[in-house]
């Protein structure tokens, strides 16, 4: 049984933001900022959140919020860290924020460099599994078998989703984790854990998207939780690239069961394709389980 983390009451987002109804990325930001606290500067790269914040001169953020070019969240985070440190403001936290396109794709080299230099920042990737801000084109975070506006036909069912937590953990950073907007306590706890550590921290937050995935806006938390149950998005963290801990292991369901909740974004998959996807998910899960057992031992 997981210890219940209390979620700070202080809201660091204003109401009236420009998200779609039921946006899980907006919820993720709300929770992450609560955990970060007000002594934070946020560097944000292009993506849904560039819009959600609201148009100039409005903003939904109560902490300093720097909008930047696509794929630059990690580099901006490095710049903020250096600037704050040279001015003696080591106490100010730097939060870099990017979507899956900005993180898995266009910002990958910048993210890798920031991790390799172990910059003292927290990078949060909110993952809605495609370029949702531009209308839902495929990214390398898109699940196999998912229909996007650039994969309208079958044929990419065999392309895996990039394993971003493992990529980041392989940089031996102090903290690499997955989290979900469907599990607020786990997410807040992870941000608080990350915040307490010096060096580069990475959290991959799963944020299902009602608009892009075409499910009713009130279904988000349920779908997010099913993704964890299906082990499409297992919740775990890795310290220093070595110590694996599974944070939550809810009762498992099959990938097929999970996919049934969002049939409109899925291509009709053959039995072989479905089996291949399930096999991949199982393999990744077994790897995490084995590594977490090694950590315990």
Partner 1 sequence: MEQIIMNGNSAAAYGALLSRVQVTAAYPISPQTGIVEALADLVASGQLEAKFIMSESEHSVMASLIAASEAGARVFTATSSQGLALMHELLHWAAGARLPIVMVNVNRAMSAPWTMFCDQSDIVAQRDTGWLHVYCEENQETLDAIIQGYKVAEQIMLPVLINMDGFYNSYTTEPVSVHDIKDVDRYLPPYEPPVKLDPKEPHTLHGGTGPHLFMEMRYQMWQAMEHALDIAREADDEFGRMFGCSYGLTEAYRCKDADLVLVSSGSLVGTLREVVDVYRDRGDRIGLLKIRYLRPFPTEEVRQALTSARQVAVIDRNVSVGMGGGFWQEVRSALYGSEVGNKPVLGFLAGIGGRDVTPESVDKIIQTARSNPPQEVPIWVELKV
Task: Enumerate binding residues for partner 1 (CB under 8 A).
Answer: 38-41, 43, 50-51, 53-56, 58-59, 61-69, 71-72, 74-80, 82-87, 92, 109-110, 112-113, 117
Minimum gap (Å) between residue 88 Cβ and partner 1: 11
Residue 129: left (phi > 0), alpha (psi -120 to 50), or beta? left
Please identify, using beta-carbon distances, which residue of 179 and 191 lies nearer to partner 1: 191
Q: Report how far residue 141's alpha carbon sits from residue 139's, in angstroms, rounded to the nearest whole number.
A: 5
Our CB check for partner 1 shows the closer of 4 and 86 to be 86
Shortest reach from residue 59's CB to partner 1, in Å: 4
Q: What's the closest the beta carbon of residue 27 comes to partner 1, in angstroms?
A: 20
For partner 1, give the closer residue by CB, 43 or 179.
43
| Closer Cβ to partner 1, 67 or 185, answer by number | 67
What are φ and ψ of residue 95, in 5° steps? Answer: -115, 120
Nearer CB in complex with partner 1: 76/235: 76
Residues 6+ apart with CB under 8 A from 98: 44, 45, 47, 71, 73, 74, 107, 111, 123, 124, 125, 126
C-alpha torsion angle, residues 231, 159, 45, 111 (rounded to 10): 80
Give whichever of 78 and 284 is closer to partner 1, judged by the CB atom. Answer: 78
Least distance to partner 1, CB of residue 64, Å: 4
DSSP E strand stretches across the chain: 40-44, 65-67, 93-99, 122-127, 175-180, 201-206, 235-239, 243-248
Residues 6+ apart with CB under 8 A from 267: 145, 146, 147, 153, 154, 157
Q: Which lies closer to partner 1 via its Cβ, residue 40 or residue 128?
A: 40
CB 62 within 8 A of CB 36: no
**Residue 205 to residues 120, 181, 227, Cα–Cα distance (Å):** 19, 7, 12
CB of 63 to partner 1, least distance (A): 6
Tokens, residue 71: 């794929």
Minimum distance of partner 1 from residue 47's CB (angstroms): 12
End-to-end CA distance of the chain: 20
Beta pairing class for 93-99 and 40-44: parallel
The number of C-alpha atoms within 13 Å of 60 and in the hemisphere containing its C-beta is: 18
CB of residue 53 to partner 1, shortest distance in Å:
6
Query: How near is the Cβ of 87 to partner 1 at its closest, in Å?
Result: 6
Q: Which is nearer to partner 1, 43 or 130 (CB)?
A: 43
């Amino acid at each position: 049984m997981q210890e219940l983390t209390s979620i700070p009451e202080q809201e660091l987002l204003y109401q009236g933001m420009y998200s779609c109804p039921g946006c899980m990325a907006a919820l993720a930001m709300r929770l992450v900022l609560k955990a970060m606290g007000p002594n934070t500067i946020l560097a944000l790269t292009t993506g849904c959140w560039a819009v959600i914040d609201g148009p100039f001169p409005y903003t939904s953020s109560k902490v300093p919020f720097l909008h930047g070019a696509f794929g630059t969240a990690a580099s901006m985070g490095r710049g903020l860290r250096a600037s704050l440190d040279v001015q003696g403001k080591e106490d100010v936290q730097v939060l870099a924020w990017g979507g899956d396109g900005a993180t898995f794709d266009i910002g990958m080299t910048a993210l890798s460099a920031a991790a390799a230099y172990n910059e003292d920042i927290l990078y949060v990737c909110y993952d809605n599994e495609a370029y949702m801000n531009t209308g839902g084109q495929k990214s390398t975070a898109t699940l196999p078998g998912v229909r996007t506006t650039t994969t309208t036909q079958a044929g990419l069912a065999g392309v895996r989703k990039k394993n971003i937590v493992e990529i980041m953990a392989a940089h031996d950073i102090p903290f690499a984790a997955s989290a979900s907007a469907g599990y607020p306590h786990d997410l807040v706890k992870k941000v608080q854990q990350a915040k307490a550590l010096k060096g580069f921290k990475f959290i991959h937050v799963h944020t299902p998207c009602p608009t892009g995935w075409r499910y009713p806006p009130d279904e988000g938390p349920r779908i997010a939780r099913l993704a964890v149950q299906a082990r499409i998005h297992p919740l775990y963290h890795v310290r220093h690239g070595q110590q694996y801990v599974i944070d939550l292991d809810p009762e498992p369901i099959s990938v097929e069961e999970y996919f049934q909740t969002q049939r409109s974004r899925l291509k009709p998959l053959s039995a072989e394709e479905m089996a291949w996807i399930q096999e991949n998910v199982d393999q990744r899960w077994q790897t995490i389980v084995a590594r977490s057992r090694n950590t315990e031992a």
